[in-house]
Chains A and B, each alone.
Chain A
Amino acid sequence: MNKKKYRKGFFIILVVSVVLLVWPKITDLGKSSIRSLSLPVERVGANINIQASETASMISGIGSGPEREKHLSLQLVQAQSDLNRLRNIEVENVRLRKALGFKKTTPYSLIPANVINRNISGWWNTIRVEPGANKKIKVNHAVLSPDGLVGKTFQINHHSCEVLLLSDPAFRVAAKLNDYDVFGIVKGMGNTLTGQPLVRMEFINKNIKIEVGDEVVTSGFNHNNNFFPSGIHIGYIEKVYIDDSGLFQHAEIIPRATGGLLDFLFIVNEEKN
């Protein structure tokens, strides 16, 4: 009798697993509910982690506070002057575009996001950020840090969303070399054994001479509801190779921005006119 019960139970579990596997709506619903339920605890966990890290850095950095403030003030002044210069350029650019009859570029806004957790198994290079669909965040939108592109929104729940990091093998984005207007695709290659993110730019015109240290930015070519505004900094070229086919070049990139638990990120949101 007991054995029969066991077999019945095991069979039911198998059937449920198969149903859940093939029915994406159930999967989404299940994931969304579990993440919403675990969110308050995750928030507390993330806060404790941030407090602990801040305390540790405070203890280790006693005496360096004024120096840091001085350095930040300098950075702020530099950023302000850059911003003023760029504002003038933007105004001029808009005027020239108008004169040439170019299509207006899509405006975007930035939604601030708190990093609340990382991936549970380590198989994926993802982080979970807050907010989610409640702030009208959509799938495949760029996620930025002050240093540049971090990743893209991946699975949206009501209060949180998963961010697929730049180094994840499933990550792809259209990119270009800033100095040459040479286009390619930037692809995540995982992490090294020392934990460094690996990123590669593929399908680069083989006739262009690329140099180490060239800047890679997003090209702004979007498809499948992707939203990556052009000119977002991705990283710098580290090594250049010719493809086995001999048709293209590919280059290893050192990404400038990486998403960590202490980071405060921004999700790019399309603004409707």
Chain B
Amino acid sequence: MKTKLLLLSFFILAAIIQQLSPNVTFFGNIKFPFFSSIMVYACFRLSKRNAWISSIVSAIIFDGLEPGPYGPALLTFPVITFIILRYRNNLFHEGIVTQFFCGAICYFFITLTTGFFFLVTNIREIDFFFLKLIGSLFLGSITLPVCSYLLSNVIPSEERGGKR
């Protein structure tokens, strides 16, 4: 219960920070992915059940704060969770290089899916999509290691019986 409450508070904090933070205009106005980085961290470190709960809750919060319809996060976050849970035992996910690559790939996937979602549903026009994709690789690779480092001291790993 303590872990879930802690995680929820971190999600809320990340949502606030991400909203208050300015857009990175050089990368087509995307933002540092603090929120999704916490979700990815939870998928790597928590039990499968808690990882799924955090994935769904974070997707609902994220899409709830977005002006468009529910969809981009609600479709993307569970897919990322599914893939991470399937392969996490084969990855040395405490290593900075793994986090660097996983952060980049996850945010790239989120940006790609969101763009594709907007294109298919015709909800809005997309500008600087290619730049956004490149930017997502860069920003994701920076944010996940930082978030993982900060969270590892607060939320213990559950997947190895609570050992850090």
Contacts and interface: CB of A to CB of B under 8 A. Distances in A.
Interface of A: 6, 9-10, 13-14, 17, 20-21, 24, 27, 30-31, 33-35, 38, 41-42, 45-46, 49, 117-124, 126, 128, 154-155, 162, 164, 168-170, 189-195, 261
30 contacts: A6-B48, A9-B52, A10-B82, A21-B69, A21-B70, A30-B63, A31-B65, A31-B70, A38-B12, A38-B61, A41-B16, A42-B16, A45-B17, A46-B20, A117-B16, A118-B20, A119-B67, A120-B66, A121-B30, A121-B62, A121-B114, A122-B29, A122-B30, A123-B124, A162-B67, A170-B125, A193-B25, A193-B128, A193-B131, A195-B29
Contacts of A20: 70-71, 74
A167 B114 CA distance: 20
Nearest to A169: B125
A27 B70 contact: yes
Nearest to B25: A195
Nearest to A26: B70
B133 to A, nearest CB: 13
Contacts of A121: 30-31, 62, 66, 72, 114
Contacts of B56: 13
Interface in B67-126: 67-72, 74-75, 78, 82, 114, 118, 124-125
Contacts of A122: 23-24, 29-31
Interface string B38-64: 000000000010001000100011111
A251 to B, nearest CB: 19
A186 to B, nearest CB: 16
Contacts of B155: none
Given A17-B71, A30-B70, A170-B124, A41 B64 contact: no
B19 interface: yes
A87 B91 CA distance: 72
A175 B28 CA distance: 28
A117 B64 CA distance: 14
A102 to B, nearest CB: 38
Contact of B19 (A9, A34, A120, A155): A120
Contacts of B31: 120-122
Interface residues of B, number: 43
Nearest to B69: A27
Nearest to B121: A21
A267 B40 CA distance: 39
Contacts of A31: 63-65, 70
Nearest to B29: A122
B40 to A, nearest CB: 16
Nearest to A190: B127
A85 to B, nearest CB: 40
B78 A10 contact: yes
Contacts of B127: 169, 189-191
Given A190-B127, A193-B25, A49 B71 contact: no
Contacts of A35: 64-65
A241 to B, nearest CB: 19
A38 B65 contact: yes
A17 B74 contact: yes
B52 A191 contact: no
A127 to B, nearest CB: 9
B65 A120 contact: yes
Contact of B23 (A6, A154, A195): A195
Contacts of B128: 190, 193
B35 interface: yes
